[in-house]
Amino acid sequence: GAGVSQSPSNKVTEKGKDVELRCDPISGHTALYWYRQSLGQGLEFLIYFQGNSAPDKSGLPSDRFSAERTGGSVSTLTIQRTQQEDSAVYLCASSLVGGTGANVLTFGAGSRLTVL
């Protein structure tokens, strides 16, 4: 597609429920990133996928968080047993690797998660 698409745009869930957030990156972008944006906290790195390499999961805050990327394209971020502190905007971005576009991330509009 023309841009990075994320769904749902808004999700309200009850504490303890599982949620799935989806990201559809720009076609041809081999790198995909998940960040979390909390009020006053900036962007917190969560996980990075690059081609067929093992993902860099160093930013995942707990084992309740996981992500996968199928076929080198669409990615799903799953949060199990949600807690109130998981409330945030979850941002997905994609980029090229190598060449002049290697350094620029294109972001989606985000998925706002509210845990009651």
Partner 1 sequence: AQSVTQLGSHVSVSEGALVLLRCNYSSSVPPYLFWYVQYPNQGLQLLLKYTTGATLVKGINGFEAEFKKSETSFHLTKPSAHMSDAAEYFCAVRPSGGSYIPTFGRGTSLIVHP
User: Contact between 49 and partner 1 (CB under 8 A)?
Assistant: no
Are 23 and 34 a contacting pair, CB within 8 Å?
yes
Categorise residue 2: left if φ over 0, alpha if ψ from -120 to 50, beta otherwise.
Answer: alpha
Query: Which residues make beta-bridge pairs with 94?
Result: 32, 106
Any contact of residue 7 with partner 1 (CB under 8 A)? no
- Tokens describing residue 95: 């980029």
Type of residue numbered 24: D
- Residue 52 binds partner 1, judged by CB under 8 A: no
Asked whether position 84 contacts partner 1 by CB under 8 A, the answer is no
- Measured from the CB atom, the residue of 23 and 82 that comes closer to partner 1 is 23
- Which CB atom, from 50 or from 76, has the smaller least distance to partner 1? 50
Applying CB under 8 A, does 111 fall inside the site for partner 1?
no
Q: Which is nearer to partner 1, 4 or 21 (CB)?
A: 4
